[in-house]
């Protein structure tokens, strides 16, 4: 049977809704949670979260669980005080778990470290003492720009211990991106490394810091971890080696208890404008959300599980599910510095086999890459320790879900497809592996204590079988509190589209059984390999090049990365008519401005862009071109011939990279 591109999705939808993967009776028998949890949480969500907050040790108990009187600015566990680092470290040592492994670190070149809770606690105390010596105090912001190495986690926890909010900037971001983040949150201290190992060689980080700091006069200290041993430029009086100051410090440090709403960190994420948003997470509610979800969603057994979130610490997934959730639960985790194919394409499976990893959490892009490399590679390793598999960051297509389950999970492991965001802090929608029968491609239902809805344009809830916008209808403890320095933008971005509800920016469908399927972003945000990028941000980067007059960017679907960046560019007349070297220059320009992850897969040089009469670029039509589809309705264009001009120009001599 042949099918036109238009009817293909319908056929695959049908096929996927027929499949169900119920948990095995053995899994159900040992599961952490049972069905009753949903009813209990729904009956009184705030009381439910109070119960979850008991997972932590509070120096002062709260007097009010939730203050929503100044909505959408929430305060959770009002009046309560606690220290995040104490909750992630010292209390486990005090409870007799000092010898439990906190992290098995696997460096890309094959170097390893085993770090117990006692050792990690001592290292964090030393780092906190060192930061104090440098002058870091409660409330000061510290920027962290590091590879995935233990010192990154130590630095974050040392900041948390001091009540100094950190802002971790993903090591793949450019010096320009680092600079804007340092300035936006006004950090005066930066922690970095000479470099890290990626794809078999040392990849420098310090030069990007040096470049960024030429325009950040407020930064007085850069603490540098020696990881690769590569040459670094040194600014006397500003730069200090980590190994010269941290290990010499005392291994004890008295943690101060901070208010439940004390800022814990700022994480920048792309929005629909060119300027990234600093998402603020605070202390008590955030840690409660991370601790509960990591325990419930992964069915965590901290005494026996070996847990691995294969993500970079520089993203929210790394914050919530490498650092804060796992450590709050006294988990034993694996961290891996490098890329999945270094030195061979079986590296991940070798790590699973070596450490007997039982819970693995990663992005669909990685799974699709492994599918491409072939099932013979994981088949060479013993993966029988795995008992729960997780997926995060983008919708998982049913094919990848089934492959993951079959070739990695050997048809035994439940798959938890977790929907959440930098803003939500912790998982929001996921199946619970001992309760729910999984449907490939569906994130299923809101977690206990979380209320979501799918609404139409007017904010009305859609019936089963309908699609619309995903909203969260009640405050939750791990929610963002504001956008750093811009409370108006916080209200406007998340709470104005549907009054009284948090608008996530995602489309969703509720199937006939009421289960949720995520349909991707409905705004100008793209999702590349599970990483969020804004079209406007890349457009701004392109037009900052003197050759470019105008630029429009779209996310086109991509079989490997989910979406890929495709740019349409109008050159200034003095730039000539483009050509391969010009396209190359523009791609490099974007990498310099934002980072390699933002580089367009394709740059098309065009003479015009499709615009409405009010001047808005119609990205939908460009997306049709980028995905080689016939273009949709052009009647709202100011000039309906533009699409023909673009198509004709591209057909004649498209400049593509
Ligand atoms: O579009 C959704 C998608 O990723 C966005 C959040 O991106 P970010 O803040 O970078 O956080 C990524 C890690 C949590 C969401 O708005 N997304 C995330 N998880 C899923 C997803 N889309 C579908 N299914 C998921 N499981």
Among candidate residues 256, 317, 332, 325, the one with its CA nearest the CA of residue 288: 325
- Give the pLDDT confidence score for residue 9 in this predicted structure: 36
- For 307-340, what is each residue's pLDDT tens digit? 999 999 999 999 999 999 999 999 999 999 999 9
Q: Is the pLDDT of residue 398 over 70?
A: yes
Q: How far is CA 505 from CA 183, 363, 509, 518, in A?
A: 27, 20, 14, 11
How far is the centre of ligand 1, averaged over its atoms, from the C-alpha of 530 (Å)? Answer: 7
Q: Is the CB of 418 under 6 A from ligand 1?
A: yes
Residue 395: CB within 6 Å of ligand 1?
yes
| 422 CA: nearest ligand 1 atom | 9
Mean per-residue pLDDT of the chain: 93
Whole-number Å distance, alpha carbon 473 to ligand 1 midpoint, is 18
Determine which residue's CA is closest to atom 24 belonging to ligand 1: 395
Q: Confidence class of residue 14 from pLDDT cuts 50, 70 and 90?
A: very low
161 lines ligand 1 (CB under 6 A): no
**Tokens linked to 16:** 């996927």
3-state secondary structure of 586: helix
Output the residue whose Cα is nearest ligand 1's atom 12: 393
Structure tokens belonging to residue 115: 């770090």
CB of 443 shorter than 6 A to ligand 1: yes
- Residue range 343-349: mean pLDDT, rounded: 98
Mean pLDDT calculated for residue range 643-648 = 81
352 near 308, Cβ under 8 Å? yes
* Among candidate residues 184, 190, 188, the one with its CA nearest the CA of residue 171: 190
Query: Residue 15 has what pLDDT?
Result: 45
Per-residue pLDDT at 653 exceeds 80: no
Pick the residue whose CA is nearest to atom 25 on ligand 1: 419
The string of pLDDT tens digits covering residues 533-573 is 888 889 989 999 999 988 999 999 999 999 999 999 999 88
Assess whether the C-beta atom of 448 lies below 6 angstroms from ligand 1. Answer: no
| Predicted confidence (pLDDT) at residue 454 exceeds the cutoff of 90 | yes
pLDDT at 381: 98
User: Is the predicted pLDDT of residue 512 greater than 90, yes or no?
Assistant: yes
Percent with pLDDT over 70 in the chain: 96
Residue nearest to atom 23 of ligand 1 (CA): 395
Say what the pLDDT of residue 630 is: 84
Residue 418 alpha carbon to ligand 1 centre in Å: 8
Closest atom of ligand 1 to 504 CA is 16
- The residues with which 241 forms a beta bridge, in sequence order, are 224
User: What residues contact residue 633 under an 8 Å CB cut-off, 6+ apart?
Assistant: none
| Ligand 1 atom with minimal separation from the 429 CA | 26
DSSP 428-464: -B---TTTPPB-TT--BSBPTT--EEEE-TTSPBPPT
What's the CA-to-centroid distance between 421 and ligand 1, angstroms?
5
In this structure, the strands spanning 166-168 and 142-145 are parallel
Whether the CB of 506 sits within 6 Å of ligand 1: yes
pLDDT (mean) for 648-656: 57
From CA 255, how far away is CA 85, in angstroms rounded? 8
Q: Which is nearest to 208 in space by CA: 330, 64, 321, 314? A: 314
Q: Best substitution site from 439, 530, 557, 561 to test ligand 1's pocket, by max atoms within 8 Å of Cβ?
A: 530
Contact assessment for residue 286 and residue 478, using Cβ atoms and an 8 Å cutoff: yes
Q: Tell the residue number behind the tokens 């429009």, with chain if given.
A: 552
Q: What percent of the chain has pLDDT over 90?
A: 83
pTM summary value = 0.92
Query: Which pLDDT score, from 0 to 100, does residue 578 have?
Result: 73
Report the nearest atom of ligand 1 relative to the CA of 420: 14
Ligand 1 binding pocket includes 494 (Cβ within 6 Å): no
Pocket test for ligand 1, best of 518, 521, 595 (most atoms within 8 A of CB): 518
Residues 153, 168 contacting (CB under 8 angstroms): no
Q: How far is the CA of 394 from the centre of ligand 1 (A)?
A: 5
Question: Which domains does the chain carry?
Answer: 523-656 (3.30.300.30)
d(CA 142, CA 121): 20
């Amino acid at each position: 049977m042949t099918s036109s591109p238009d009817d293909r999705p319908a056929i695959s939808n049908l096929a996927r809704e027929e499949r169900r993967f119920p948990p095995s009776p053995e899994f159900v028998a040992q599961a952490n949670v049972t069905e009753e949890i949903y009813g209990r949480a729904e009956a009184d969500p705030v009381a439910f979260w109070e119960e979850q907050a008991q997972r932590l040790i509070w120096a002062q108990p709260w007097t009010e669980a939730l203050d929503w009187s100044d909505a959408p600015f929430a305060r959770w566990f009002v009046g309560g005080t606690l220290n995040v680092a104490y909750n992630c470290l010292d209390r486990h040592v005090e409870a007799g778990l000092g010898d439990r492994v906190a992290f098995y670190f696997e460096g890309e070149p094959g170097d390893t470290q085993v770090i117990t809770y006692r050792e990690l606690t001592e290292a964090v105390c030393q780092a906190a003492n060192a930061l104090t010596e440098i002058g870091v105090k409660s409330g000061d912001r510290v920027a962290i720009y590091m590879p995935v190495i233990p010192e990154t986690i130590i630095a974050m926890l040392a900041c948390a211990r001091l009540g100094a909010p950190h802002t971790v900037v993903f090591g793949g971001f450019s010096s320009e991106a680092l600079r804007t983040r340092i300035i936006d949150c006004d950090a005066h201290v930066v922690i970095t490394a000479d470099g890290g190992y990626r794809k078999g060689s040392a990849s420098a980080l310090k030069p990007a810091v040096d470049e960024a700091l030429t325009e950040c006069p407020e930064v007085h200290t850069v603490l540098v971890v020696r990881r690769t041993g590569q040459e670094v430029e040194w600014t006397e009086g500003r730069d200090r080696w980590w190994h010269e100051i941290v290990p010499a410090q005392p291994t004890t440090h008295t943690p101060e208890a901070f208010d439940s709403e004390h800022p814990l960190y700022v994480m920048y994420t792309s929005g629909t404008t060119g300027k990234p948003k600093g998402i603020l997470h605070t202390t008590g509610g955030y840690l409660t959300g991370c601790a509960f979800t990591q325990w419930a969603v992964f069915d965590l057994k901290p005494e026996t599980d070996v847990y691995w979130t294969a993500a970079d610490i520089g993203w929210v997934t790394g914050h919530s599910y490498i650092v804060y959730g796992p450590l709050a639960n006294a988990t034993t985790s694996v961290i891996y510095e490098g890329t999945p194919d270094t030195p061979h394409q079986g590296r991940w499976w070798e790590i699973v086999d070596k450490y007997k990893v039982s819970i693995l959490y990663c992005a669909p892009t990685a799974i699709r890459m492994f599918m491409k490399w072939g099932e013979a590679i994981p088949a060479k390793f013993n993966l029988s320790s795995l008992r729960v598999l997780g997926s995060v960051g983008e919708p998982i297509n049913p094919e990848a879900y089934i492959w993951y389950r079959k070739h990695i999970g050997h048809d035994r492991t439940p798959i938890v497809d977790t929907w959440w965001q930098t803003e939500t802090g912790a998982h929001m929608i996921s199946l619970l592996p001992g309760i729910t029968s999984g449907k490939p491609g569906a994130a299923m239902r809101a977690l206990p204590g979380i209320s979501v809805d799918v609404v139409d344009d007017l904010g009305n809830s859609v019936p089963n079988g309908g699609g619309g916008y995903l909203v969260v209808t009640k405050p939750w403890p791990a929610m963002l509190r504001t956008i750093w320095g811009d409370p108006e933008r916080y209200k406007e971005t998340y709470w104005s589209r549907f009054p009284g509800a948090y608008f996530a920016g995602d489309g969703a469908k509720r199937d006939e059984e009421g289960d949720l399927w995520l349909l991707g972003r409905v705004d100008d945000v793209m999702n590349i390999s599970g990483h969020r990028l804004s079209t406007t941000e890349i457009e701004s980067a392109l037009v900052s090049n003197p050759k470019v007059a105008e630029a429009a960017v779209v996310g086109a679907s991509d079989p490997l990365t989910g979406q890929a960046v495709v740019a349409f560019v109008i050159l200034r007349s003095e730039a000539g008519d483009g050509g391969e070297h010009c396209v190359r220059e523009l791609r490099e320009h974007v990498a310099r401005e934002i980072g390699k992850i933002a580089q367009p897969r394709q740059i098309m040089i065009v003479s015009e862009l499709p615009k409405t009469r009010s001047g808005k670029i119609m990205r939908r039509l460009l997306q049709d071109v980028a995905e080689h589809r016939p273009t949709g309705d052009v009647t709202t264009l100011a000039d309906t011939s533009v699409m023909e001009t673009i198509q004709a120009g591209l057909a004649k001599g498209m400049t593509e990279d």
